[in-house]
Every structure is written in structure tokens, then in C-alpha cells.
Amino acid sequence: MSNDGAAGQRNNNEKSRPSALPNHEENGSRKKPEFEIREMGVDDIAAVFHLGEQVFTADKTPTLYRTWDEFEVISMFNEDTEYCLVAETEGQIVGFAMGNVVTKKKSAWKYGYLVWLVVAPEFQRLGVASRLFHKFEDKMIEAGVRIFMIDTEADNLPALHFFRARGFGSPQQHIYMTYNPVATEQQKEKKRSLKGKKSGSNHKRVG
Ligand SMILES: CC(C)(COP(=O)(O)OP(=O)(O)OC[C@H]1O[C@@H](n2cnc3c(N)ncnc32)[C@H](O)[C@@H]1OP(=O)(O)O)[C@@H](O)C(=O)NCCC(=O)NCCS
């Protein structure tokens, strides 16, 4: 989800680690903190960016087709403010959801595309994403959306479990390919020279 030099490559755990860690009960189980789910404001942009940076590291999300960088947050906030939501506890942003409404030519249907859904690792499995998704869903339905879409890596099991539990299904396979013109030309050149050597040796006279 990030390319060379983009901020998404850096694993900036220290900067983005929330200080309001979930409390633990005496029996060791986690006590659910109170979360507020609200629309994202301009002052949340930096926190959202750093939280995404913590989660979308190059090793976890090695595909390049979607890039996590500050421009992604700013442009989604700018274009689809009402579909940018945050989860907050004790003044800390611990999760966010961002998406948009997709319309197609010659179709009356509106699609709700949830582009990013993230919960800080320390606050996962506490229902934060569920609450973010519910609010996102309500807003989208209000806007006339009939079908929701998401995309994620095929091996992102937490996300797949999460979305299946929310009713998502019919996964479609999609292959991403890359092409490097310089490397391809070098390979072709190598093949040509090997072929040349071979055909040269075939014509060698014996004796
Ligand atoms: C996917 C993600 C958003 C889920 O957030 P979350 O706040 O932990 O989710 P919830 O607590 O609301 O989970 C609701 C249900 O989803 C399923 N689920 C969530 N995380 C799961 C996991 N790691 N393993 C198995 N099931 C999981 C469970 O059914 C869970 O219910 P339960 O806790 O009662 O069993 C979170 O793991 C995350 O931020 N991942 C990294 C970013 C990402 O991949 N985003 C999706 C693509 S943009």
C-alpha cells in the first residue's frame, strides 16, 4: 500500500502508539474503555495519518496499488468529509474509517466503498471497528447506498473475519502485476545474446 519514499514505508510505532492503553481487570481480561465514534475533524488528520502509518507498514502490506501517505488522508477528508470517522478514547484517536460513495454510469445504484478501516493494535477486539462500521453503514444508507464494497489482501485474516462477520461475501479474485521496462529489456537482451551464441555454435564446422 505504499511506495518507495512514501511515508507508509516507515514503521513509526513510537510516534503513533496511543498512551491510553486499555485497562486490565484484576482477572487479566481487558476492560472495555468508552469510545466515542464521531466525524473526523481537521485536527485529527495527523493522528489518523500516524495510526495508519503504524498499521500499514511495508512488511504487512507489500502491495503498491494503494498508498498510505498524508495526501491520502487529506484528499479523503477533503472530498468525503462526512464518510471519514474516528474512534476516540480519552482524547486519543484509536481507530478510523474512511470511504466514499461510488456511482456508475447507466446504473441507479450507489455503492458504499469502505477504503480504509483501522484500529490501533492495542485496541483491537474491543468492538471499535464494529462501531465505526455501523456508523459508516448508517451514513451510507442515508445517502442511498445499497451495496458495500471493501478490498484487502487475501491473507489479511483479521479483516476477512471481520468483514465476513458483518455480512460481506462473494469475494472476487483480482491479480496485480508489475512491469519494469528496464529489467524486461535486459532480460530480452540476455535471451537474444544466448540465442546468438547457441546458433553460432550450431554452425561450427567439426574437423
Ligand atoms: C480488521 C480490524 C479493523 C478489526 O478491528 P477490531 O476493532 O479489532 O474489530 P472488532 O473488535 O469490532 O471485531 C468484530 C469481529 O470481527 C472479527 N475479528 C476481528 N478481528 C479478528 C481477528 N484478529 N481474528 C479473527 N476474527 C476477528 C471477530 O468476529 C470479531 O468479533 P469478536 O471479537 O466478538 O470475536 C483490525 O484488525 C485492523 O485494524 N487491522 C489492520 C488494518 C486492516 O487490515 N484494515 C482492513 C482493510 S483496510
Strand pairing report for 147-149 and 110-119: parallel
pTM of the entire predicted model: 0.81
Q: How far is the CA of 14 from the centre of ligand 1 (A)?
A: 22
Main-chain phi, psi angles of 24, to 5 degrees? -110, 140
Q: How close is the Cα of 158 to the center of ligand 1, in Å?
A: 5
Q: For 7-179, which CATH superfamily applies?
A: Gcn5-related N-acetyltransferase (GNAT) (3.40.630.30)
40 in contact with ligand 1, CB cutoff 6 A: no
Domain ranges across the chain: 7-179
Report the C-alpha gap between 195 and 16 in whole angstroms: 55
pLDDT band at 19 (very low <50, low <70, confident <90, very high): low
Q: Does residue 3 have a pLDDT over 50?
A: no
Q: What is the pLDDT of residues 58-101, one digit of tens each?
A: 666 656 567 788 899 999 999 999 999 999 999 999 999 999 99
